[in-house]
Structure 1
Amino acid sequence: MALSKFLGLFLIHIALLSSSCFAADPFVFYDFEVSYITASPLGVPQQVIAINNKFPGPTINSTTNNNVVINVRNKLDESLLLHWSGIQQRRSSWQDGLPGTNCPIPPKWNWTYQFQVKDQIGSFFYFPSLHFQRAAGGFGGFIINNRDIIPIPFGSPDGDITILIGDWYTRNHTALRKALDAGKDLGMPDGVLINGKGPYQYNDTLVPDGIDYETIDVHPGKTYRLRVHNVGISTSLNFRIQSHNLLLAETEGSYTVQQNYTSLDIHVGQSYSFLLTTDQNASSDYYIVASARFVNESQWKRVTGVAILRYSNSKGKAAGPLPDPPQDEYDKTFSMNQARSIRWNVSASGARPNPQGSFRYGSINVTEIFVLKNKPPVTIDGKRRTTLSGISFVNPATPIRLADQFKVKGVYKLDFPSRPLTGPPKMETSVINGTFRGFMEVILQNNDTKVQTYHLSGYAFFVVGMDYGEWSENSRGTYNKWDGIARSTTQVYPGAWTAILISLDNVGVWNLRTENLDSWYLGQETYIRVVNPEVTNKTELPMPDNVLYCGALSKRQKYAKKSRFYVNGYLRKMAVKTNNG
């Protein structure tokens, strides 16, 4: 390439990036090729989704305020979106990777995500959000480190380890999807994976020979940061390491009051950071266990993930029974009390959600209240569907944010009810109308028989209360108004409620959903639309130059294709060049 042409493209590249990011902050580049590979995590060959031929995908490593550029090449046989779970996408829902906000990346296309991890630290993960694809893989960790000038509330760890746990089926995601479309339950999963691998053979009867398992190597007398994410489909998992304490330090971007746990329940979609001190003797290796919770344990014994913690001076393999799970068969409050014990470290330095002051949430007046109730699946128009407050969400052909940008009418209704419907359930594209700079109280009421985990894109919300029974106005008397944890994903126990508070300071269209993948697929979600009545790019970044078009705006894509090619093509070259030094 001639020098003048290269310089010209370079200047265009910088201009494009500067238009939507803070140019003074560093960039990190990644190149993702998403494709199918054959793997046998449970001893059965199956099709899984890999990134750069890896399952799970690579961990994204960034620092507070970095501009993250990820070029995605879709080599699947169906459309694709990648969602950055818990990354707040400040001022830019254009990059959120969900069907209500973005058009999908067609097969054989590439598209570049570009966003800033503004005012965030912590442990997160990414995954494909369309077509039940997360059940086949395509997920990986996402780390946002603190800047060097900001102290962290613990000593620098001797290592940083990402652990992805989750239930797993040997049927591929298309077969699971067809089962749900046919009105069937998925049934019990075939196992639990740890970092994409099956269980260590701790029991010859329950675990067949020849399964590849995960081994985490450590040195004695050190402290490691373990970032543990439940990337599964619908199973709450108890995480524990034999003979070791887990010192909880952070969850989904908030430092916690540090407490030791012998085990912790991690629900679908949740992320935690633990500090692990390798202070045990090395007479043998130790079990790392992720086992199903709130199930009939006698039937679910084979659905247990087991990895190995190996000291560098270990004298032998792990043997004997696994460490016991929580013994709470007759105490349904055990897990809830554990969840209530997770508190925010309000004195820690570092990036905070809503740093302008709304972290003092207990003194802010609530302006909007929504009670959102889910129930067991129902039949609507002959289809088995899940609902939220009586509405089963239908994703529009034209994403909501794109419809707003081009004033396409009839795409959605801004009429989601503040209280559950009393009439028959219905299927609609019904959206919550959020007030910019309002302070919203949301009650998540779970009238189903299994744990539901709820996630809100674009925000860290404050978990202020949870209890069994039906929420009422009097329930506010139990709220934690000082150090309730700020996070993006919270559990709601069956027959119980969880209350969250949200400062609506992030303009955009943001997904509120159950993380239970089967319930999400069948309609248990909505979006919160937050619009600044004053048109200004200070509260929302402009639509990106490489935006994809679909639905009612499909014809616009032929005019955008050339621009998309040059922008993405160049960014892709830059990514390869940067990563290779």
Structure 2
Amino acid sequence: MALSKFLGLFLIHIALLSSSCFAADPFVFYDFEVSYITASPLGVPQQVIAINNKFPGPTINSTTNNNVVINVRNKLDESLLLHWSGIQQRRSSWQDGLPGTNCPIPPKWNWTYQFQVKDQIGSFFYFPSLHFQRAAGGFGGFIINNRDIIPIPFGSPDGDITILIGDWYTRNHTALRKALDAGKDLGMPDGVLINGKGPYQYNDTLVPDGIDYETIDVHPGKTYRLRVHNVGISTSLNFRIQSHNLLLAETEGSYTVQQNYTSLDIHVGQSYSFLLTTDQNASSDYYIVASARFVNESQWKRVTGVAILRYSNSKGKAAGPLPDPPQDEYDKTFSMNQARSIRWNVSASGARPNPQGSFRYGSINVTEIFVLKNKPPVTIDGKRRTTLSGISFVNPATPIRLADQFKVKGVYKLDFPSRPLTGPPKMETSVINGTFRGFMEVILQNNDTKVQTYHLSGYAFFVVGMDYGEWSENSRGTYNKWDGIARSTTQVYPGAWTAILISLDNVGVWNLRTENLDSWYLGQETYIRVVNPEVTNKTELPMPDNVLYCGALSKRQKPQDISFATSITTSSWKLFLAVLMVASALLFH
């Protein structure tokens, strides 16, 4: 391609980035080619979604306030969106990668995400958000490091290790999708993967020969940061490492009070950072285990994920039984009490020099209250659906944010109820009308029989309380109003409630959903629309110049120059960076 044509495109990007005030902070660039490959994580060949021919995909490594540019080439046979789970997308829901905010990237198309990880640190992950694709892969870790001038509340680790755990089916994601569309349950998963690999053969009867397993190599006498993410479909997992303690240090962008756990329940969509000290002898390797929680079937033992922790001076293979999971079959409060023990480190700096606890959420007046209740699946208009407060969400053909921009009428309703509906359930595109700079209390009531985890895009919320039974006004007396953890994903146990507080300071349209993929696919979600009455780039960035159009606005979409788009590579982005630096010097100095 001619250099002049290439530079012309970059000058357009420069104008966009400059107007968005991005140019003052460093850039990191990634090139993602999303395609199908054949893999056999459980010994059965199957089609999985890879990024740059890797399953799982590469880890994105960034630093607070970096501008992240990710060029995505969709080589799947269906449309694609990538969602950056837990990344708050300050002022820019345009880049969130969800159907309520973005039109999908068509097959064989190229599209570039550009966003700033503004005032964030921590451990997150990304995944494809359409068509049940996360069940086939396409996920990877996303790290946001502290800037050098901001101290971390522990010594610098000797290594940083990303671990992706999750339940897994050997059926194709399209087959799983069809089962849900036909009104069926997915049934028991076929296994639990650790970094895209099946279990180590710890038991000849339960685990067949020939399965590739994950090995994590460490040196004795060191401390490693383990970033563990449950990227699975619907199974809560207990994570543990034989003979080692896990010192919890951070979760989803907040430093925690540092506490040792022998194991920790990690629910679907959740992320944790542990400090692992390699202080054991090296007489053998050690088991790393991710096992299913809150299930009764004895066959679930076959589903356990097992990897290996190997010291550099190890003298032999791991042996013996796996370390025991929590023995709480008759104590349903054990896991909840463990969750309650996770507290915010209010004296630690976050992405800024001020302590995390300087945001005194407990003294802010609540302006809006929503009680959101889920129930087991129901039948609506002959279809099996899941609901939130009696509404099963229908994704609109025209994304909500795009409809607002072009004043398209009838795409959605701002009528999501503050209390559960008392009448029959219904399928609608019903959205919560949030008040800019309001302070919202949300009670998540789980009347289903399995754990649900809930995620809110664009925000970290404060988890202030959880208990069994029905929430009532008196439940507020149990709230933690000082050091409740700030995070983006929280679990709600069966027959229980969890209360969260949200400071609505991020303008945009933000997804509130269950992370359990089957329940999400069937409608258990909504969006919170937060609008600043005063239109200003200070609270929301302008629509990007490369926005995709669909639905009622599809006639605006121009065909893509495929030969040009597919020629954009990481090396090209490096050239872009060089040009951008020159342009920035001219524009800002």
Same-fold call, TM cutoff 0.5? yes
Q: Contact 1:545 / 1:564 at 8 angstroms: preserved in 2?
A: no
Cα deviations by residue, 1:145-179 (Å, 9 ceiling, x for unpaired):
00001000000000000000000000010000000
Q: Contact 1:29 / 1:575 at 8 angstroms: preserved in 2?
A: no
Q: Contact 1:13 / 1:571 at 8 angstroms: preserved in 2?
A: no
Residues 353 and 424 of structure 1, relative CA distance in 2, 3 Å threshold: farther
Cα deviations by residue, 1:252-271 (Å, 9 ceiling, x for unpaired):
00000000000000000000
Give distance in 1, aligned partners of 2:411 and 2:12. Answer: 35
SS at match of 2:339: helix
SS at match of 1:299: helix
Superposition deviation, residue 10 in structure 1? 4.7
Residues 569 and 353 of structure 1, relative CA distance in 2, 3 Å threshold: closer
Residues 461 and 176 of structure 1, relative CA distance in 2, 3 Å threshold: same
Give distance in 2, aligned partners of 1:454 and 1:353. Answer: 30
Q: Which residue of 1 aligns with 2:341?
A: 341
Aligned length, in residue pairs? 577
Give distance in 2, aligned partners of 1:181 and 1:315. Answer: 51
Q: TM-score, normalised by structure 2?
A: 0.94
Cα deviations by residue, 1:94-119 (Å, 9 ceiling, x for unpaired):
00000000000000001000000000
Residues 370 and 567 of structure 1, relative CA distance in 2, 3 Å threshold: farther
Cα deviations by residue, 1:131-151 (Å, 9 ceiling, x for unpaired):
000000000000000000100
Residues 378 and 439 of structure 1, relative CA distance in 2, 3 Å threshold: same
Superposition deviation, residue 4 in structure 1? 6.7
Give distance in 2, aligned partners of 1:177 and 1:569. Answer: 41
Q: Which residue of 2 aligns with 1:515?
A: 515
Superposition deviation, residue 16 in structure 1? 2.4
Residues 548 and 170 of structure 1, relative CA distance in 2, 3 Å threshold: same
Give distance in 2, aligned partners of 1:411 and 1:180. Answer: 25
Superposition deviation, residue 273 in structure 1? 0.0
Cα deviations by residue, 1:182-205 (Å, 9 ceiling, x for unpaired):
000000000000000000000000
Residues 574 and 126 of structure 1, relative CA distance in 2, 3 Å threshold: farther
Residues 525 and 576 of structure 1, relative CA distance in 2, 3 Å threshold: farther
Residues 353 and 544 of structure 1, relative CA distance in 2, 3 Å threshold: farther
Q: Contact 2:128 / 2:138 at 8 angstroms: preserved in 1?
A: yes
Give distance in 1, aligned partners of 2:89 and 2:388. Answer: 25
Superposition deviation, residue 13 in structure 1? 3.4
Cα deviations by residue, 1:52-76 (Å, 9 ceiling, x for unpaired):
0000000000000000000000000
Output aligned runs, 1:280-429, within 5 Å: 280-296=280-296, 298-351=298-351, 359-429=359-429
Q: TM-score, normalised by structure 1?
A: 0.95
Superposition deviation, residue 2 in structure 1? 7.4
Give distance in 2, aligned partners of 1:141 and 1:538. Answer: 30
Of 406-415 and 19-28, the range deviating more from structure 2: 19-28
Superposition deviation, residue 359 in structure 1? 2.2
Residues 9 and 38 of structure 1, relative CA distance in 2, 3 Å threshold: closer
SS at match of 1:568: helix
SS at match of 1:575: helix
Q: Contact 1:164 / 1:194 at 8 angstroms: preserved in 2?
A: yes
Superposition deviation, residue 11 in structure 1? 3.9
Superposition deviation, residue 564 in structure 1? 16
Give distance in 1, aligned partners of 2:122 and 2:573. Answer: 33
SS at match of 2:228: strand
Cα deviations by residue, 1:335-361 (Å, 9 ceiling, x for unpaired):
000000000001001316999998210
Superposition deviation, residue 17 in structure 1? 1.9
Residues 233 and 556 of structure 1, relative CA distance in 2, 3 Å threshold: same
Q: Contact 2:147 / 2:351 at 8 angstroms: preserved in 1?
A: no
Q: Contact 2:345 / 2:356 at 8 angstroms: preserved in 1?
A: no
Give distance in 2, aligned partners of 1:578 and 1:185. Answer: 59
Aligned alpha-carbon RMSD (Å): 3.5
Residues 566 and 536 of structure 1, relative CA distance in 2, 3 Å threshold: farther
Of 564-573 and 334-343, the range deviating more from structure 2: 564-573
SS at match of 2:28: strand
Q: Contact 1:268 / 1:515 at 8 angstroms: preserved in 2?
A: yes
Residues 228 and 543 of structure 1, relative CA distance in 2, 3 Å threshold: same
Q: Which residue of 1 aligns with 2:27?
A: 27
Q: Contact 2:348 / 2:355 at 8 angstroms: preserved in 1?
A: no
Superposition deviation, residue 518 in structure 1? 0.1
SS at match of 1:357: helix
Give distance in 2, aligned partners of 1:366 and 1:139. Answer: 36
Q: Contact 1:71 / 1:571 at 8 angstroms: preserved in 2?
A: no
Q: Contact 2:100 / 2:396 at 8 angstroms: preserved in 1?
A: yes
Superposition deviation, residue 580 in structure 1? 27
SS at match of 1:179: helix
Q: Contact 1:455 / 1:489 at 8 angstroms: preserved in 2?
A: yes
Cα deviations by residue, 1:471-493 (Å, 9 ceiling, x for unpaired):
00000000000000000000000
Superposition deviation, residue 565 in structure 1? 14
Give distance in 2, aligned partners of 1:579 and 1:183. Answer: 57
Q: Contact 1:546 / 1:564 at 8 angstroms: preserved in 2?
A: no
Q: Contact 2:248 / 2:272 at 8 angstroms: preserved in 1?
A: yes
Q: Contact 1:100 / 1:399 at 8 angstroms: preserved in 2?
A: yes
Superposition deviation, residue 388 in structure 1? 0.0
Cα deviations by residue, 1:496-517 (Å, 9 ceiling, x for unpaired):
0000000000000000000000
Superposition deviation, residue 18 in structure 1? 1.8
Residues 278 and 155 of structure 1, relative CA distance in 2, 3 Å threshold: same
Superposition deviation, residue 14 in structure 1? 2.2
Give distance in 1, aligned partners of 2:149 and 2:76. Answer: 42
Q: Contact 1:241 / 1:288 at 8 angstroms: preserved in 2?
A: yes
Superposition deviation, residue 323 in structure 1? 0.1
Q: Contact 2:230 / 2:268 at 8 angstroms: preserved in 1?
A: yes
Residues 451 and 532 of structure 1, relative CA distance in 2, 3 Å threshold: same
Give distance in 1, aligned partners of 2:532 and 2:358. Answer: 18
Q: Contact 1:63 / 1:147 at 8 angstroms: preserved in 2?
A: yes
Q: Contact 1:354 / 1:503 at 8 angstroms: preserved in 2?
A: no
Instruction: Give the unaligned 5+ runs of structure 1.
Output: none
Residues 417 and 580 of structure 1, relative CA distance in 2, 3 Å threshold: closer
Give distance in 1, aligned partners of 2:573 and 2:156. Answer: 43
Residues 415 and 478 of structure 1, relative CA distance in 2, 3 Å threshold: same
SS at match of 1:424: coil
Superposition deviation, residue 470 in structure 1? 0.1
Q: Contact 1:225 / 1:273 at 8 angstroms: preserved in 2?
A: yes
Cα deviations by residue, 1:261-300 (Å, 9 ceiling, x for unpaired):
0000000000000000000000000000000000115221
Residues 442 and 137 of structure 1, relative CA distance in 2, 3 Å threshold: same
Q: Contact 1:374 / 1:387 at 8 angstroms: preserved in 2?
A: yes
Identity rate, percent: 97
Give distance in 1, aligned partners of 2:141 and 2:557. Answer: 32
Q: Contact 2:512 / 2:526 at 8 angstroms: preserved in 1?
A: yes
Residues 354 and 67 of structure 1, relative CA distance in 2, 3 Å threshold: farther
Instruction: Give the unaligned 5+ runs of structure 2.
Output: 559-570
Q: Which residue of 1 aligns with 2:125?
A: 125
Residues 580 and 516 of structure 1, relative CA distance in 2, 3 Å threshold: farther
Of 162-171 and 342-351, the range deviating more from structure 2: 342-351
Q: Which residue of 1 aligns with 2:225?
A: 225
Of 19-28 and 262-271, the range deviating more from structure 2: 19-28
Q: Contact 2:150 / 2:352 at 8 angstroms: preserved in 1?
A: no
Residues 496 and 564 of structure 1, relative CA distance in 2, 3 Å threshold: farther
Residues 532 and 92 of structure 1, relative CA distance in 2, 3 Å threshold: same
Q: Contact 1:366 / 1:438 at 8 angstroms: preserved in 2?
A: yes
Q: Contact 2:346 / 2:356 at 8 angstroms: preserved in 1?
A: no
Give distance in 2, aligned partners of 1:313 and 1:556. Answer: 62
Q: Which residue of 1 aligns with 2:435?
A: 435
Give distance in 2, aligned partners of 1:433 and 1:514. Answer: 19
